[in-house]
Amino acid sequence: MSDAPDLSPEAKKKRGQRNLAIALGLIGFIAVVYLVTILKIAGNIGGAS
Amino acid sequence: MVNRANSETSAVDEKTSFAGPKDYFALLKPRVMSLVIFTALVGMVAAIADGASVHPGLAAASLLAIAVGAGASGALNMWWDADIDAVMARTIGRPIPQGLVPKSEAAGFGMLLSALSVALLALASNYVAAGLLAFTIFFYVVIYSMWLKRSTPQNIVIGGAAGALPPVVAWAAASGTAPLDAWILFLIIFLWTPPHFWALALYREGDYARAGVPMMPNIAGEASTKKQIFGYAVILVIAGIAPYATGLGGTAYLAISSAFGAGFLMLAWRVLKSAPRSKEAPKQLFAFSILYLFALFAALLAEDLYAIYV
């Protein structure tokens, strides 16, 4: 469960960047799905009234 | 053997561990993605100018989904073609041949993004558009990359359908339908693809032959390829006028399409008449073909935006 002992500082830095990119990608996807859902619901409410 | 295997694994791991986010982004073929975004945007705005109503936020999300779907196709293409990418000068710098991203990760990355892009488009627009996007990815990866690319010199002719579909997908995302005008946009890109890629293949012939990819110049020969380029150029320029005939494009579009069409024909003629093994004329046609497609779609976009906002 600990860090691989043979990773160089550069490799650790790249791993951190990859982890950050995955986190930002996930947050971005969740935000887009949330906003799209809200817009669709708002559109349906508008259409129904 | 075990030691050798271990040392190979650790060597790959060592190099793989240096892959950054930009290497994964490169798997998405960003330059192809930018062309897809642009042509899809034109298809979407044309649909809106035609009377479709779509919330700007949902339109943006749909374009994002189409772009990610195109990128996913690129990643899956790089996964499948890693062996030939490694022997072509044009593609040897890609992340898989460089040993930065393992093939299995590119495959997983591409499949994940394919699923997410289709799901997002279904959520943001409709099932027609999502189905068309799924078909586009399937066509590019399975029909073009896996089947046609290594088996026939007609590979990019038929495979070009995948690159031509984004404006139809975007039109469907905005309106739920794919009318004739959307398919005219498809036809322009579809007919543009052969002269564009064969011009590239003429000055990169050695690359494709070395990789064993049956491109037209190394199967039918240079002279036949040049004739076919000119033939497609004639049909393309006629198709380029079609939007004016159906009302999709106005007089400004007609003027731009005619002027750039004349330039395209002139350069295709120069390719036809160029000396054997000459690289200059195909290079010029290749560069101009990108400008031609951009000019036609930009003219349509400008006219539609004018019609919507002015």
- Provide the pLDDT for residue A5: 60
Residue B250 CA, chain-centre distance (Å), reads 26
A19 touches chain B (CB under 8 A): no
Contacts of A21 in chain B (CB under 8 A): 21, 24
The length of chain A is: 49
| Domain chopping of chain A, boundaries | 21-49
Q: Rounded to the nearest 5°, which phi and psi values hold at A32?
A: -65, -45
Could you tell me which chain B residue has the CA closest to the CA of A7? B14
Distance CA A13, CA A7 (A): 10
Under an 8 A CB cutoff, do B14 and A36 touch?
A: no
How crowded is residue B84: how many other Cβ atoms within 10 Å of its Cβ? 18
Higher pLDDT, B3 or B201: B201
A/B interface, count of CB pairs below 8 Å: 45
- Which tens digits make up the pLDDT trace of B202-220? 988 788 888 999 999 999 9
Among the listed residues B207, B206, B201, B251, the one whose alpha carbon sits nearest the alpha carbon of residue B226: B201
| Domain chopping of chain B, boundaries | 27-176, 179-310
Higher pLDDT, B145 or B18: B145
| Three-class SS of B28-75 | CCHHHHHHHHHHHHHHHHHHHHCCCCCCHHHHHHHHHHHHHHHHHHHH
Among the listed residues B83, B71, B81, the one whose alpha carbon sits nearest the alpha carbon of residue B24: B71
Under an 8 A CB cutoff, do B24 and A18 touch?
A: yes
Contacts of B120 in chain A (CB under 8 A): 29, 32-33, 36
Best probe of the A interface among B6, B12, B55, by most A CBs < 10 A, is: B55
- Which tens digits make up the pLDDT trace of B286-309? 999 999 999 999 999 999 999 989
Please compute the mean of the pLDDT values over residues A3-28 and round it to a whole number.
Answer: 87
Q: CA angle, corner B181, sides to B176 and B182, nearest 5?
A: 50
Tokens 């290594």: give the residue. Answer: B150
- Confidence bin at B10 (pLDDT 50/70/90): very low
The listed CATH number (1.10.10.10, 1.10.940.10, 1.10.357.140, 1.10.150.120) that belongs to domain B27-176: 1.10.357.140
Under an 8 A CB cutoff, do B21 and A32 touch?
A: no
Taking any CB pair shorter than 8 Å as contact, residues of chain B touching chain A are 10, 14, 17-21, 24, 55, 57-58, 61, 64, 116, 120, 123-124
Distance CA B9, CA B51 (A): 58
Best probe of the B interface among A32, A35, A37, A41, by most B CBs < 10 A, is: A32
What is the overall mean pLDDT for chain B?
A: 93
User: Which among A18, A35, A36 has CB closest to B21?
Assistant: A18
Contacts of A44 in chain B (CB under 8 A): none
- Provide the pLDDT for residue B5: 39
Spatial contact of B153 and B214, defined as CB atoms under 8 Å apart: yes
Under an 8 A CB cutoff, do B123 and A39 touch?
A: no
Q: Is the pLDDT of residue B9 over 50?
A: no
Helix H or strand E encompassing B309:
helix B280-309
Tokens 């499949």: give the residue. Answer: B111
Under an 8 A CB cutoff, do B123 and A15 touch?
A: no
Under an 8 A CB cutoff, do B120 and A33 touch?
A: yes
Under an 8 A CB cutoff, do A33 and B123 touch?
A: yes
Residue A15 CA, chain-centre distance (Å), reads 16
- Which tens digits make up the pLDDT trace of B96-116? 999 999 999 999 999 999 999
- Which tens digits make up the pLDDT trace of A21-30? 999 999 999 9
Q: Which two tokens stand for residue B304?
A: 């539609």
Could you tell me which chain B residue has the CA closest to the CA of A19? B21
